[in-house]
Amino acid sequence: MTDGVTDPELRAEILRIAAQRGSGKTLCPSEAARGIGGDRWRDLMPAARRIAFDLAGEGLVHVTQHGEPVAPDARGPIRIRWIDGGAATTDDIGAATTNDGASGEAPSSG
């Protein structure tokens, strides 16, 4: 990781953004990397992509290209979409952001 940014912090940021947007919108992993990595966000991209696919494997998000699910070895831009009713709740996300040292509030459930 770069400048003290940890995998759990990056994971929490991806989950925070995805949950906030809901299943109707997607995010690019670079949005989470930029949010916590500042000018060094590019250094976080390999980890952000890996974490996105980890989250997909856990049933929390979908990872897509051109709206279609892709495998972890996919090349090119990917998008992350929250799964409504997935394995995590907003309470789980709040616990992740407070227990791993990442800053930020959990999204509201309403």
CA atoms within 13 A on the CB side of 42: 1
Share of the chain above pLDDT 90, in %: 73
Residue 106's pLDDT is 39
pLDDT, tens digit (0-9, with 9 covering 90-100), for 33-53: 999 999 999 999 999 999 999
- pTM across the whole model: 0.78
pLDDT, tens digit (0-9, with 9 covering 90-100), for 53-68: 999 999 999 999 999 9
Measured between alpha carbons, how far is 100 from 6 in angstroms, rounded to an integer?
A: 9
Read off the tokens for 88: 């995590």
Average pLDDT over residues 26-35: 98
